[in-house]
Amino acid sequence: MLLKPQRIKHVMSSEASEVVILERCWVVEFKSKTDVSIILKFQSGEPDLYIEAASKPDCEAWAVALGEANSEGLRNKIQQLRRLIMEIKEERASEEARQFLPSSQVDSLGEPQFTSIQRIANEPKLEFSLACKGLVAATRDRKLNTFIQVSVVHPAEHILTRYSSTEIVEGTRDPLFLTGVTFPPEYPIYEETKIKLTVYDVKDKSQDTVLTSVLPDHKEPRADVGRSFLGCATFRVGDLVKSKEQQLTLTLRFLSRTSDGGKTVGTIEVNLVKMGEFEDGEMDHITTDAQDQKFLCFLPLKSCSCGFLSATCAHNTENLERMTDRRAKEECALVRECTAPEGLSGKDNLPSLNAVLKNPICKLYRFPTSDNKWMRIREQMAETTLSFHVPKELINLHIKEDMRRNQELKDLGELAPHWDNMRKSVIAHCDQMLSMYQDTLAELGKHTGSSFKSSCSKGEKTLEFIPINLHLQRMHVHSPRLKDALYDVITVGAPAAHFQGFKNGGLRKLLSKFEAERRNTGYQCIYYSPENTAKAKEVLSNINHLQPLISSHADLLLNSASQHSPDSLKNSLKMLSEKTELFVHAFKDQLVRSALLALYTARPGCVLKKPAVPRSSAEESDDLKHQNHPSQIKRQDSIPHHSEYDEEEWDRVWANVGKSLNCVIAMVDRLLEKDNSSKTKEGESDPSAADCKVLHAGGDWYEQLYPLVITLKDCMGEVVTRAKQSMAFVLLQELACGLPQCLMLTLRRDIVFSQALAGLVCGFIIKLHTSLHDQGFLQQLHTVGLLVQYEGLLSTYSEEAGMLEDMAVGISDLQKVMFKVIEAKSEDFLPIITGRREHYVIEVQLPAKMFELLPQEIKEGKLLRMYPVLFNVGINEQQTLAERFGDTTLQENINQENLELLKEYYNLFTEKMPPDCLPHFQEQNDLKGLLENLHQNIQAKRRKNVEIMWLAATICRKLNGVRFTCCKSAKDRTSMSVTLEQCSILRDEHQLHKDFFIRALDCMRSRQTQGALNESDDPETGCLTDNKPTSRHFYPVALLLVSSHLLVVWLILSLALLLAKYQ
């Protein structure tokens, strides 16, 4: 740029005095009215350039001119012109599309009627693949890098809507695209719908930012840079569906204003795809040109939270792709993951699945096999309504449980001033927490819109119970010579309390610290171990469950006696005896006796003979050893003793229940014996006299049993009153010893557990539906239980270490969850949750026809156990920092602990299941070898040992388990892991051609081929703008990871810069 100190009006006649290159600089203009000077500052550190104008208007004019004259401004102008050109082309294309709109038939009301496409229920309406031939380039020597953009012209509208795009195939004029086009079941497509195919040549690949989302009608499509228009073609859906060969060959034309029909630039082939049919031909074409065709797929550094339909950072790829070096000798038989597709897509299970899954997003691929055949892959991702349903059900249970606990604390009766003040403080804090739960439930009840929580909402308080990005990722493989197969992975963000933060660590550390502090609470309260506290909650739960059952069975017994029905009387007595025995057994514990003593000393007027002293763990274990030997029972050192307390009183009250039951049993036996003897003596007697005797005997039965049943109820009521008060006193000590930390930890644990449980329920329901015809799996389910394997990708650095601690506790708590399958009585198929914090039962509802397929044990209501295991391997740059300068003990301990749990499940499996029950289990040595290999890799403690993830996933699939993949937000790292696992399965199990492994992997990771997404489908929309630059720390870290010495230098320099900045 030429700068001249003269006035603007003399610019053209004066000569240049200096040449300044306006690159990486900015203009500083003085705002005062008198100052007419401008300063140019350079980022390179060169001296500032001062320019002075003749007047203030000239100074302002120079400032504007200089601001627009730099290289960035010129680039922006060029991009604006490119966008304008593309907008003009899009408008012209939209006008041309209007002439293809059909003249729809009009009914009597004047509304257009369209012909629907007949497809299988819950299957995509339309799927087709694409290929081009004989494309013409602008210059002869240029090799084309092409992709196809698919747009839809709806018959009832006049707007062209972009739908999806293929991948970019580089370096050929005959591209064959591996990514197809699929329209989900709910998409409004008809035979009259027009589809426009536009072929582009990507020139500037670094700037191509093709959008594949469905743009709203009121928004202009975003122009794309770095590409040129080659040609377009349009076809009618009905023509493709009704064509004899189900294939169309269209002529690509370059439309121009000079020519009427446009210039022919090649052809494009459209092939209708049906997953149940094989595709022949074209294999010679693709295998011959495989060396010439290069595949290009742009991986945006910021991907959408839909995860596996997006991409991630390149430095994570190097770590994960180490898993692809496995050889064929380690191939795993994973095809048994699913049953025949007709069993999956039948009409019977659609209502129950549709109640759980919604908004599916589909992608279609075709990949060559090693024997020159085609296999088709449909990738589907779906949201689940359980993301909100399960947390709301859980919060509702928490509210009821906490209200019941508060009432039990109030019912403790009169206490000494110290304990009474403690109780008031606890109830006040509990009421605050209860109010918070109620507010959260009310806010969730108001939620509308998306059925999942996006990652940008993980810090919202009202959504802290909701899991992050909970989705089902399913891959349906249809390959020649092999049975169709389904592979499911549940993807979800790591269950963690993001709103509460991780400044002090996660649950694993916080719980350990809290327990240590609670042991040293002095004389303020009585210390009870976590085991005793859990036992107290279990006793209270048994009381609330068994007491109404015993009362109802006692009433049924009296009703049978009044009707003089011997059979009914026997059945009622049997049920009453069983429930009463369970009731009596629930109080056969030293904890109840010691808690009654402690409660007695807390009453007004009692004097403590011995101060409360925290017990050691050795003393606790010693008590447990002598628990079943009354003659050797020792008093708890933490419990105060009183000389006037009669410890035998509780034994008498407790024993009275059993004695009362024995009296009832003896009376029933006596009545039945008299009835039998009277019948044998009377023989043939007058019928009317016999009826009178029966009525009189019925009255005698009722009158003789009534006082005994009332005595049983009274004894049971006295036991319930004392036991409830004693156990409530134990819970009072737990809460009082750690206010308010105890309640905050309970809240945090509830939050983490809610997120983990929502994913578990989703995984169980999906697994049950896909395996209903697998008798081996159903036998394993009720005999052994279900293995649930979580793959964690969190680092052990900074906040993610706290997330991992939360996640480990939340997944461990899932062991307390039991499942029960019931027959649905209505059209509502959502699961029902019952229980309390220490024990939950999830009732899964199935339609009648599906319920009949289950084994008798499951139909009878047998509880199904879960065996959750977690294996974590950090793979990002933060894990590199943790391994070099931090601590990875947390990850090592978690992996080692869960390896033992996995071995325990394997041993249980081998003991209870016959060797020939499962096709996967034909060679036990194979599974043993995998377990031993996993054990060795965990013990090796290698950096970023991703082999652990592959081995754990393989073992899980062999044992018919449910797979979960988790990272911080279930986006980048999760998508990398899932797509790599899918391609590895295609290679090992379905003979994917070895030369197409990387290309298949890139297809699945490309956001460009993402399909029809709208703003509600992308949870990041509205949180981050398009093309948001990646973190400025990414590039130096990714570069410096090559050398540890450079990394140290970079850290030192960064620290020095930060210190200088803040000084």
Alpha helix segments (H runs only) across 737-772:
741-770
DSSP secondary structure string for all residues of 349-410: SHHHHHTTEEEEEEEEEEEEBTTS-EEEEEEEEEEETHHHHHHHHHHHHHHHHHHHHHHHHH
Beta strand 471-478 pairing with 227-236: unpaired
- Most distant CA pair in the chain, distance: 143
- The count of C-alpha atoms lying within 13 angstroms of the C-alpha of 80, restricted to the half-sphere facing its C-beta, is 6
Cβ proximity of 349 and 825 under 8 Å = no
- Bridge partners of 112, per DSSP, are 106
The C-alpha angle with vertex 621 and arms to 617 and 627, in degrees rounded to 5, equals 145
Nearest one of 975, 974, 992 to 983, comparing CA atoms: 992
Token representation of residue 469: 């990005």
Query: Are the C-beta atoms of 633 and 622 separated by less than 8 Å?
Result: no
Contact 681, 589 (CB under 8 A): no
Whole-number Å distance between alpha carbons of 706 and 695: 17
Side chain identity at 818, as an amino acid letter?
A: M
Q: Residue 460: CB partners within 8 Å, gap ≥ 6?
A: 499
CB 789 within 8 A of CB 899: no
Query: b or e along 753-780 (b: 16 or more beta carbons within 10 Å of the residue's beta carbon)?
Result: bbbbbbbbbbbbbbbbbbbbebebbbbb
Between CA 278 and CA 287 the distance in angstroms is 18
The first and second tokens of residue 693, run together, are 């005797």
User: What amino acid is encoded at 944 in this protein?
Assistant: K
Name the pairing type of β-strands 839-846 and 832-836: antiparallel
Quick one: tokens of 482? 């092999």
How many helices (H) and strands (E) the chain has is answered by: 29, 27
Q: Which of 967, 983, 1003, 1023 is catalytic?
A: 967
Q: Which residue has the tokens 């929309």?
A: 1021
Strands, sheet with 962-967, edge to edge from the N-terminal-most edge strand: 357-368, 374-384, 471-478, 485-493, 962-967, 786-792, 864-872, 817-823, 839-846, 832-836
**CB of 386 closer than 8 Å to CB of 761:** yes
Please confirm, yes or no, whether 306 is among the known catalytic residues.
no
Rounded Cα gap, residues 380 and 364, in angstroms: 9
For residue 92, what are the contacts with CB-CB under 8 A and spacing of at least 6?
A: 255
Tokens encoding 427: 């109830």
The tokens for 433 are 């927490």
- The residue with tokens 């740029």 is 1
DSSP 33-64: SS--EEEEEETT-PPPEEEE-SSHHHHHHHHH
- Which tokens belong to 307? 């995860």
**The dihedral of CA 934, 318, 372, 246: what is its sign?**
positive
Q: Which residues contact 833 (CB under 8 A, 6 or more apart)?
A: 390, 393, 394, 397, 840, 841, 842, 843
CA distances from 560 to 364, 419, 572, 699 (A): 65, 48, 8, 11
Euclidean distance between CA atoms 441 and 750, whole angstroms: 13
Residue reference for tokens 């082999």: 947
The amino acid at residue 17 is: S
Q: Quick one: which H or E segment has residue 510? A: helix 507-518
**Which residues are catalytic, by number?**
967
